[in-house]
Amino acid sequence: MNAHPIVAERKLDALRHALGSDVLAALTNPEVVEILVNPDGLLVLDRVGSGRAAAGARLDVEARERVIRLIADYVGEPVTRENPRLSGVLPVTGERFQGFLPPVTTGPAFSIRKRPALIWTLSDYVRDGAMTSVQADQLRTAVLTRRNLLISGGTGSGKTTLANALLAEPAFANDRVILIEDTPELQCSAWDLVSMLTRRFPVAIGVVDLVRDALRMRPDRIVVGEMRDGAAALETLKAWNTGHPGGLSTIHANSAPEALRRVEDLIAEVTSAAPQRMIAHALDVVVHIRRTPSGRKVEAILKVTASP
C-alpha cells in the first residue's frame, strides 16, 4: 500500500533536513551536475565547465547516515552492516543516488548524479567545440540508418549526455523505443516509449531479464543505459543482432578500440570464448568521448566492420 500523503511529506521533510541547505542549494543549481559527500563529510560539487571543487561545507556523520537510510526506506532496499551499499534515486525528482556505510567506507558517503536540466543536441556539441560538424553528420547518419551505437568513455566523461543528444534526434521520434536502465537518466524523443528499470530487492530484475521481456514488446529499437556485466552485454548484442537494429548503449572504456575489447572481456565472463564475429555483426559504430581540461570532447568515431 502507498504511504499516506502526510507520512510521505514527513519523510521528505526529514530527508531535506538531513541533506542540509548546502546540498539542497546544489540540487537546484543548474550548473551543478554531481554532488559528492566523502566519508569525512566533505562536500564536493562538480559543475559544468569548471569541474570538481570543495564546496566549503561538511555534513556530520549522523546527517550522512540518515540520508542513506531515508533513501533506502524510499526505494525499499535495506542497508545493513552485511549489505552496506545502496543504489537508488531521490524521491519525486529521481536523481541517481549511490550510498555507502561502514565497513565499506570509513564513514557514511554518498553521491547524487543530477539529471540534465536541458538536453544537448548534436548542434550544441558542434557549437561548443565538443565535436566537429563532420562527426555530428556521421552520428546523425548512423542514427537515421539504424546503426547500433556504443558510446564509450570514462566516469564523468559525458556518455549519458551524449546518449540523450542522440536519443533526441528525429530518427528516434516515430519508432517504438524500449529504454532499459538501472536509474532513470535517459530521455528520448519517441512518442511510443516504454521505460524499464532494473531492481535488486526484493526480487532481483536485471538487464538480462528486461532485454528478454523487451523482445516481447514489439520494439523497433532497444536502448540499454550501460553495459555493466557480461550477461547484460551478451543479451543486448543478441537482441540487436536478431532483427532489432538501431540500438544504443554506453560502456566504460579508455578509447574506442578499447571499448570493443571491453565488450569482449565482459562477454568472456559468461562464455568460454568471446564471440568476436557476433560482436562485430551487432556493433556498427563506437563513439568515444572524454573529459579534457577545456571540457568534454568526442575523441573518435569508429566504424565496426565484420569479416565475411
Mean pLDDT of 80-109: 91
| The three cell numbers locating residue 102 | 561502514
Mean pLDDT of 201-208: 86
Which amino acid is present at 26? A
Phi, psi of 59 (to 5 degrees): -105, 135
* pLDDT attached to residue 11: 85
Q: What percent of the chain has pLDDT over 70?
A: 96
* pLDDT attached to residue 5: 62
- Fold for 5-113, please state it: Beta-Lactamase (3.30.450)
- Is the pLDDT at 1 greater than 50, yes or no? no
Geometric angle at alpha carbon 191, from 186 and 194, rounded to 5°: 55
Mean pLDDT of 187-210: 90
Strands 51-58 and 42-47: antiparallel
> In the chain, which segments carry CATH 3.30.450.90?
5-113
Mean pLDDT of 154-170: 93
- Is the pLDDT at 115 greater than 80, yes or no? no
Average pLDDT over the chain reads 91
> In the chain, which segments carry CATH 3.40.50.300?
122-303
Closest CA to 110 of 41, 53, 51: 41
* pLDDT attached to residue 102: 95
Distance CA 243, CA 147 (A): 12
Burial of 14 (0-12, 13-18, 19+ CB in 10 A): middle
State pLDDT tens for residues 28-42. Answer: 998 898 999 999 999
Mean pLDDT of 152-160: 91
For cell 575523441, name the residue.
299
- Is the pLDDT at 114 greater than 90, yes or no? no
Q: The domain at 122-303 falls in which architecture?
A: 3-Layer(aba) Sandwich (3.40)
- Is the pLDDT at 299 greater than 70, yes or no? yes
3-state secondary structure string across the chain: CCCCHHHHHHHHHHHHHHHHHHHHHHHHCCCEEEEEECCCCEEEEEECCCEEEEEEEECCHHHHHHHHHHHHHHHCCCCCCCCCEEEEECCCCCCEEEEECCCCCCCCEEEEECCCCCCCCHHHHHHCCCCCHHHHHHHHHHHHCCCCEEEEECCCCCHHHHHHHHHCCHHHHCCEEEEEECCCCCCCCCCEEEEEECECCCCCECHHHHHHHHCCCCCCEEEECCCCCHHHHHHHHHHHCCCCCCCEEEEECCCHHHHHHHHHHHHHCCCCCCCHHHHHHHCCEEEEEEEECCEEEEEEEEECCCCC
* pLDDT attached to residue 4: 58
- Is the pLDDT at 62 greater than 90, yes or no? yes
Q: For the CA atoms of 164, 167, 168, 169, what is the dihedral angle to 10 degrees? A: 140
Phi, psi of 196 (to 5 degrees): -125, 145
Mean pLDDT of 123-136: 95
